[in-house]
Amino acid sequence: MARGGTLVLAAVAALGACGPTGAPTRNAQADNEMIETVDIPQTVTAVAPGTTPMAERIAVIGLLNKRNGLSRDLTLRPGQAVRVGDVIVRLRACETTAPWEIQRLTGAFVQLDVRNPRGQFERVFSGWLYKESPSLNVVEHPIYDVWPKSCEMTHPGGGEPAEPARASSSRSSASNSAASADAEPPPTSPPSAEANSAR
């Protein structure tokens, strides 16, 4: 029984050293250290024939300075970064959905580093952004905003292009038939109060 109690105490002590997410807590001295970004090469070595390799894709990223209202388009390949004043925009990846997909999306994995008052760059955003759905992931920064505009890439053949969603229109897709000729045409102006009361 003493041995089982010792194991329980050891487990409780180990859990006590963990933070709220279960990971070991960091000491106060480590908080002052610079966090360095380490680039890990991609491990994907083969892509489907006809697909543009990640390193050859080209994305256009919009950058807006909210203070002065200036925006510019940045043309980047995955792995490239560009510094514009006090901001560094880094593109890690870009992707578009295949032509045969119903929902068309253009996405980019972007990292945004901004110079802080101490003169050091710190990461304020890292994640996927989507041109067609900007609200899925938002860059929350008081001065800078970034968004994907395009990603040039090809997809392998293999699927029929999806039929684009049709916009609503006043024209009917029903065929013109004799039965529709007998139907009363829609009024060109709203009926008067007298016509409404007669109905």
Q: What is the DSSP string of 128-160?
A: EEESS-GGGS----SSEEEEEEEEE----S-SP
Distance CA 123, CA 144 (A): 12
Q: Quote the pLDDT of residue 157.
A: 75
- pLDDT tens-digit readout, 19-55: 444 333 333 334 444 444 455 565 656 667 778 889 8
Distance CA 194, CA 199 (A): 9
Rg, the chain, Cα only: 29
Q: Quote the pLDDT of residue 156.
A: 82
Distance CA 23, CA 141 (A): 28
Entry pTM: 0.58
Burial of 115 per CB tally in 10 Å (0-12, 13-18, 19+): middle
Q: Quote the pLDDT of residue 146.
A: 96
pLDDT band of 155, cuts 50, 70, 90: confident
* Residue 8: strand, helix, or coil: helix
| 44-53, 62-71, 130-139, 188-197: range with lowest mean pLDDT | 188-197
Asked if 136 and 130 touch (Cβ cutoff 8 Å), the reply is yes
At position 104, the amino acid (one-letter code) is R
127, containing H or E segment: strand 121-130
pLDDT band of 139, cuts 50, 70, 90: very high
Is the pLDDT at 87 greater than 70? The verdict is yes
Mean pLDDT of 70-79: 96
Mean pLDDT of 153-172: 59
Q: Quote the pLDDT of residue 7.
A: 45
Q: Quote the pLDDT of residue 31.
A: 42
Give the residue with greater pLDDT, 157 vs 102: 102
